[in-house]
């Protein structure tokens, strides 16, 4: 999986979160329409599609560069080393099951009238406790530091809760 400096590098919190998802029965995602909030480099959305065969996973992130890297990671995982598409046991590929979009929380799904059956996300890492923060316009040209700071809310939440 590819990462770049302006996006979040998967770490312990990410892996613990995915282990938590793994504890649910397979029926939790099978054939479901799922959204992942704050998908970062896309690895969790891709892993959900690979393991549980949902009908669709929408990986959503407010960081435009995270979405570009997620699409790259999706293509890297959808084809084998000979460039051939990898089909699952329902004759679909990861490209049939996963899409990534820039979105503030669920705004992409709301604007496109997508009905979701499951929403996953490690909420302390995604919800900024500072309500003014998102009034800043997030552009493709934002600095690497600013874009990366969008995934750093855990420390802020600890400060606010003291
Ligand atoms: C800690 S990272 C987790 C990334 C990924 N899920 C993982 O575990 O590797 C949190 C992600 O939430 C995104 N994010 C922050 N605020 C968001 C918002 N309001 N809407 C959507 N995504 C947001 C950040 O850009 C960042 O990629």
User: Is the residue at 6 inside a domain?
Assistant: no
Residue 37 CB–ligand 1 contact under 6 Å: yes
pLDDT one-digit tens code per residue, 22-80: 999 989 999 999 999 999 999 999 999 999 999 999 999 999 999 999 999 999 999 99
User: Is the residue at 17 inside a domain?
Assistant: yes
Looking at the structure of the chain, the number of domains it has is 1
Interval between CA 89 and ligand 1 midpoint (Å):
31
User: Is the residue at 4 inside a domain?
Assistant: no
Q: Of the candidates 88, 114, 98, which has an alpha carbon nearest to the alpha carbon of residue 56? A: 98
User: Is the residue at 57 inside a domain?
Assistant: yes
User: Is the residue at 92 inside a domain?
Assistant: yes
Q: Of the candidates 117, 144, 8, 140, which has an alpha carbon nearest to the alpha carbon of residue 70? A: 8
User: Is the residue at 141 inside a domain?
Assistant: yes
pLDDT one-digit tens code per residue, 96-147: 999 999 999 999 999 999 999 999 998 877 777 665 655 555 666 777 777 7
Q: What is the CATH number of the domain that holds 79?
A: 3.40.50
Ligand 1: which residue has its CA nearest to atom 11? 38
124 is written with which tokens? 């302390």
Residues 6+ apart with CB under 8 A from 125: 8, 13, 38, 151, 153, 154
Residue 67 CB–ligand 1 contact under 6 Å: no
Q: CA 52, 55, 56: angle at the middle one, nearest 5?
A: 95
- Its pTM stands at 0.87
Domain extent at residue 145 = 12-161
Residues 6+ apart with CB under 8 A from 131: none
Interval between CA 90 and ligand 1 midpoint (Å):
30
Strand partners, 37: 60
Residues 5 and 148: beta-carbon distance below 8 Å: yes
User: Is the residue at 5 inside a domain?
Assistant: no
């Amino acid at each position: 999986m590819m990462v770049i400096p302006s996006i979040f590098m998967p770490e312990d919190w990410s892996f613990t979160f995915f282990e938590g998802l793994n504890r649910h029965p397979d029926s939790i995602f099978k054939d479901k329409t799922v959204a992942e909030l704050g998908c970062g480099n896309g690895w969790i959305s891709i892993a959900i599609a690979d393991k549980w065969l949902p009908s669709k996973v929408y990986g959503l992130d407010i960081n435009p560069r995270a979405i570009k890297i997620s699409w790259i990671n999706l293509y890297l995982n959808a084809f084998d080393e000979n460039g051939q598409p990898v089909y699952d046991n329902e004759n679909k590929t990861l490209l049939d099951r996963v899409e990534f979009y820039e979105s503030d929380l669920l705004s992409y799904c709301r604007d496109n009238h997508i009905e979701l059956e499951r929403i996953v996300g490690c909420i302390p890492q995604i919800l900024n406790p500072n309500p003014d923060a998102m009034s800043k316009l997030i552009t493709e040209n934002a600095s690497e530091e600013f874009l990366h700071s969008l995934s750093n809310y855990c420390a802020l939440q600890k400060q606010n809760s003291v």
